[in-house]
Amino acid sequence: MPSSATMPGSTRLPRGFFTRDSVTVARALLGQRLVRIHQGERLAGTIVEVEAYRGVDDAAAHSHRGRRTPRNEAMYLLGGHAYVYFIYGIHHCFNIVAGGVDEPVAVLIRALEPVEGLAAMRTHRGITSATAASDRRLCSGPGKLCEALVIDREMNAADLIAGDVLFIEQAIQRPLPDDRIVAGPRVGVDYAGEWAEKPLRFFVRDNPHVSRA
């Protein structure tokens, strides 16, 4: 009999999915389902927007030039772990580590299309209305989705393959075709010189749940 963490017919993405380069993992994550088990309930959404961070060469990455501090230590774990940090005094950001051990690359999850547990998500976000328009804003940003799914620093370094509270389920069998993915510059990294302009942000074309068009 299935536990609350496992739906009939669902498959969790395996380790090998994540131990690839961060751009490949980022694109392959679009269309897959992020699941958070909170107080026995499934809070889940389809991943519709991501950003790849490319490690020591990437001026926008926390691991730029091999920086390794208590905050970003989780980036150095094996692919398939969580890297969660606190930013701007208010928000959390959830990343999925890619690559191998000591290869500090990651994918920032920027937006979800909510599919399960919407009532709880609205409560967590302090949103009372349940219109299509307001549900579009439920998880349309890295800080918003962390608030909706109750992802905070307790989740930092969590193993998304072995853990029971946070994981990725396979919702589609193959990566979305290129013509359904839009690539562009990453958000909020203007300080990173030429790296700020590289097309390392990816989102599902015409999906209304992305953080911005």
Partner DNA sequence: CCCGTGATTTAT
Partner DNA sequence: TAAATCACGGGG
Q: Interface residues with DNA (CB under 7 A)?
A: 51, 53, 60-62, 67, 69-72, 75, 83, 85-91, 93, 95, 106, 108, 125, 137, 141-145, 153, 186-189, 191, 211
Q: Is 16 helix (H, G, I), strand (E, B) or coil?
A: helix
Task: Closer to DNA by CB, 38 or 137: give it.
Answer: 137
Residue 132 C-beta: closest distance to DNA, Å: 17
Beta pairing partners, 87: 91
Range 45-68 burial, b when 16+ CB lie within 10 A, else e: bbbbbbbbbbbeebebbbbbeeee
Task: Closer to DNA by CB, 32 or 211: give it.
Answer: 211
Task: Closer to DNA by CB, 87 or 119: give it.
Answer: 87
Task: Closer to DNA by CB, 10 or 185: give it.
Answer: 185
Residue 202 C-beta: closest distance to DNA, Å: 14
Distance CA 151, CA 155 (A): 6
Residue 128 C-beta: closest distance to DNA, Å: 12
Non-local CB neighbours of 154 within 8 Å, separated by 6+ positions: none
Residue 205 C-beta: closest distance to DNA, Å: 20
Residue 90 C-beta: closest distance to DNA, Å: 5
Task: Closer to DNA by CB, 129 or 173: give it.
Answer: 129
Distance CA 213, CA 202 (A): 11
Residue 111 C-beta: closest distance to DNA, Å: 8
Non-local CB neighbours of 47 within 8 Å, separated by 6+ positions: 29, 30, 31, 32, 33, 34, 109, 111, 112, 168
Task: Closer to DNA by CB, 9 or 126: give it.
Answer: 126
